């Protein structure tokens, strides 16, 4: 058996995000669960993600932002989107958090944490695969 770790949530219906112009590409990007075309990010039902990361907690106003952010970082790790756009992906996260009613202080706290990470989780890399038994 082969498996990976790190997912807490599974999307139960499609979710749509309108992104900034940085995420407009000449060709649409389409994977099994993610579509990115003309600054529109569609995350399909069944997508799994880990929610808020780091020293924070999952609250109602901290669900959509990490979903958007995780999908953009995944597209970078898989080579569909240039890794150097990680700062713009972080900005999309902040935009979602504010829109969903997160306090300015908490958004600032998230920014501080992400700045220290410097996009390391968006870098193209091999995901750790575990085996059992």
CA distance 127 to 133: 19
Record the tokens describing residue 34, joined without a space.
């993610």
Neighbour tally for 60: CB within 10 Å: 9
Q: pTM of the full predicted structure? A: 0.88
Model pLDDT, residue 24: 92
CA distance 5 to 18: 29
Tell me: pLDDT of 114 over 90: no
Give the model confidence (pLDDT) of 27-74 as tens digits: 999 999 999 999 999 999 999 998 887 777 889 999 999 999 999 999
Block residue for tokens 């970078």:
76
Model pLDDT, residue 61: 92
CA distance 69 to 100: 14
Residue closest to 10 by CA, chosen among 32, 41, 42, 43: 43
Tell me: pLDDT of 5 over 80: no
Residue closest to 33 by CA, chosen among 48, 18, 49, 44: 44
Block residue for tokens 């569909």:
80
In 81-129, alpha helices (H):
86-99, 104-117
Domain-by-domain residue ranges, the chain? 2-131
Model pLDDT, residue 127: 65
Model pLDDT, residue 116: 82
Which regions of the chain does DSSP assign to beta strands (E)? 2-3, 9-10, 15-18, 29-30, 34-37, 40-43, 48-49, 130-131
Residue closest to 34 by CA, chosen among 86, 74, 61, 1: 74
């Amino acid at each position: 058996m082969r498996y990976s770790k790190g997912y807490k949530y599974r999307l139960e219906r499609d979710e749509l995000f309108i992104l900034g112009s940085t995420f407009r590409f000449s060709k649409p990007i389409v994977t099994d669960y993610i579509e990115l075309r003309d600054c529109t990010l569609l995350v399909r039902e069944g997508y799994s993600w880990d929610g808020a990361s780091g020293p924070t907690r999952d609250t109602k106003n901290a669900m959509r932002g990490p979903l958007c952010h995780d999908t953009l970082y995944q597209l970078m790790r898989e080579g569909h989107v240039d890794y150097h756009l990680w700062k713009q992906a972080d900005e999309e996260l902040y935009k979602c958090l504010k829109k969903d009613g997160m306090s300015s202080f908490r958004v600032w706290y998230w920014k501080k944490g992400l700045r220290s990470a410097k996009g390391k989780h968006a870098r193209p890399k091999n995901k750790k695969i575990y085996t059992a038994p």
